[in-house]
Amino acid sequence: MLSKKTKYAFHALTYLGKHREQKTVLIQDISEEYGISHKFLENILLELKKAGILGSKKGKGGGYYLIKEPIDVPLSKVIRLLDGPIALLPCVSLNYYEPCVECKNEEKCGLNKVMIQVRDEMLNILENKSLADILDKE
């Protein structure tokens, strides 16, 4: 399951996407809209900024804003950023690979093979669907 952090990130991105006509959006506006702790949300927005998805402006009249077009923000990127691996096993993760500690031979692991398939199907959707697809519905 996706963590709250990731869900909050999607909420924030949705909010920012819906208010693109504004130059900036305050953290507080988002945190009030979804009932997210101001400080917790701050950390999340900061991560999104470091990842090049958001920009921010300090001082009076400042706030956060989308720096990318919604279609250029794949869902997979957001999930990986906040939640880590998308794969169901560390040994099939593309971005966070680790061998399974109790696995003797990855080559001969049947579970590994199936989980590669699952990962690929998940990525097939999550890499190709973007923030734009989410905004459309709202």
Partner DNA sequence: TATAAACTCTATAAAAAAAATAGGGTAAAT
Partner DNA sequence: ATTTACCCTATTTTTTTTATAGAGTTTATA
Chain positions contacting a copy of itself, by CB under 8 A: 1-2, 7, 10-11, 14, 34-36, 75, 85, 87-90, 100, 102, 108-111, 113-114, 117-118, 121-122, 124-126, 129, 133-138
Check binding of 95 to DNA (CB under 7 A).
Answer: no
47 makes contact with DNA (CB under 7 A): no
Q: Which of 10, 15, 17, 42 binds DNA (CB under 7 A)?
A: 42
The rounded distance, in Å, linking the Cα atoms of 19 and 24 is 8
Answer yes or no: are the C-beta atoms of 70 and 129 closer than 8 Å: no
Question: CB 136 → DNA: shortest distance, Å?
Answer: 26
Alpha helices in 1-138 (DSSP H): 4-18, 27-34, 38-50, 75-83, 110-126, 131-137
| Residues near DNA (CB under 7 A), total | 26
Q: Is 12 in the site for DNA (CB under 7 A)?
A: no
Q: If binding is defined by CB under 7 A, does position 49 make contact with DNA?
A: yes
By the rule CB under 7 A, 20 interacts with DNA: no
Nearer to DNA, 16 or 131 (CB): 16
CA dist., res. 101 & res. 103, Å (int)? 6
Supply angle C-alpha 66, 126, 95, rounded to 5: 90
32: CB partners within 8 A, 6+ apart:
none
Token pair for 132: 């734009």
Q: Under the rule (CB under 7 A), what is the footprint of DNA?
A: 3-5, 24, 26-28, 36-37, 39-40, 42-43, 45-46, 49, 56-64, 84
